[in-house]
Amino acid sequence: MLNKKYHLVRSIFFNFGNQYLGIRQMKTLQFREALREAMTEEMQSDDRVFLMGEEVAEYNGAYKVSQGMLEEFGPDRVIDTPIAELGFAGIGVGAAMNGLRPIIEFMTFNFSLVAIDQVINSAAKMLSMSGGQFGAPMVFRGPTASAGQLGAQHSQAFDNWYANTPGLKVIVPSNPADAKGLLKSAIRDDDPVIFMESEQMYGDKGEVPEGEYVIPIGSAKVVKQGTDVTLVSFGKIMKVAITAVEELAKEGINAELIDLRTIRPIDYATVIESMKKTNRMVILEEAWPLGNISTDLTYTVQRNAFDYLDAPIRRINTKDTPLAYAPTLVEAWLPNVKDVVEAVKGAMYVK
């Protein structure tokens, strides 16, 4: 079993060495493959790590994220569970308190509501309630938000719900490279981490660095430099943001694009510094309008950098209703490229 100091030294050596020498090799992976690599590498190097959830073993995962892992690690470390989220989430918390590092997979975070007592009242609070005697170093992962015609009970974004909870860290990656680097960091972290994906991203392909690498939790990424407006987003809806930035460029608007990646903790510094440069901000989030991440960002930016704003911050969210099943209503409910372009132009007072 490799200890944490070895992990840290190894990560620093590889990351610094590859960046300094410029020899980082890349490969193309699907989002699901990047997650699988992260879990597999961490399970190979640390025998305290195990995966547990519905259909993760014999069926190779509901979305084939854990394909082949049962064969490699056996049924003691890749564990199928009954349809009982409260039960296996509680088992995971107890295992984490006793020195293991479980990865608990929810088939969807909509089903995590059944287990929310264990997540919020046990995992998140254990270190505080025990006076530092017991922690819960574990990862709860699975898909969040809408994924097409799945109906109202399977199409909800609970990212901001969990980000509202002290004691949890919350990660929502938008691409395979970030997914792998952040999941490895999450598995090694000593706090409970909520790691949120999307059914509509598992087949997405992207370049992922070869070899060992991790991405620090709490660090946003400037995806594109710009001068006219700061556009902030995270998760699956980043696809809309990227396309919107391309459309804006055709009209001569140079938008800076930031991917938060982590929404607890939030990298406020990167966002604020960007806004100080562009003097305008638009936030795109797949969530209901009330009490979400974009609400918090809007307050924090204006509270700390109000004098730099040349226009009110604009937020783009989903419609304030449950998501319907009809495809026309799904389309109308979700933010789209046109919404983003119009919001940016409004912030710039451009018709």
Give CA–CA dist 81/53, Å, rounded: 5
Overall average pLDDT of the 60-89 stretch = 98
Which residues are identified as catalytic? 85, 154
Evaluate if residue 8 carries a pLDDT over 90.
no
Classify burial at 58, counting beta carbons within 10 Å of its beta carbon; exposed 0-12, middle 13-18, buried 19 or more.
exposed
Identity of residue 113: L
Range of the domain at 100: 4-209
Last residue of some domain: 209, 238, 253?
209
**Model confidence over 233-287: pLDDT tens digits?**
999 999 999 999 999 999 999 999 999 999 999 999 999 999 999 999 999 999 9
Q: What CATH number should be reported for the domain holding residue 175? A: 3.40.50.970
DSSP string, 79-122: EE--S-HHHHHHHHHHHHHTT-EEEEEPS-TTGGGGGHIIIIII
Last residue of some domain: 209, 231, 249?
209
Last residue of some domain: 163, 186, 209?
209
Output the pTM of the full model.
0.92
Evaluate if residue 20 carries a pLDDT over 50.
no
Total tally of structural domains belonging to the chain? 2
Tokens 């795109």 belong to residue: 284
Shared-domain flag, residues 247 and 301: yes
Q: How confident is the model at residue 24, as a pLDDT?
A: 77
Evaluate if residue 209 carries a pLDDT over 60.
yes
Predicted confidence band at 19 (pLDDT cuts at 50, 70, 90)? very low
Predicted confidence band at 1 (pLDDT cuts at 50, 70, 90)? very low
Shared-domain flag, residues 235 and 325: yes
In a domain? residue 232:
yes
Give CA–CA dist 152/108, Å, rounded: 13
Tell me whether the omega of the peptide bond preceding residue 82 falls within 30 degrees of 0, making it cis. Answer: no
Shared-domain flag, residues 182 and 227: no
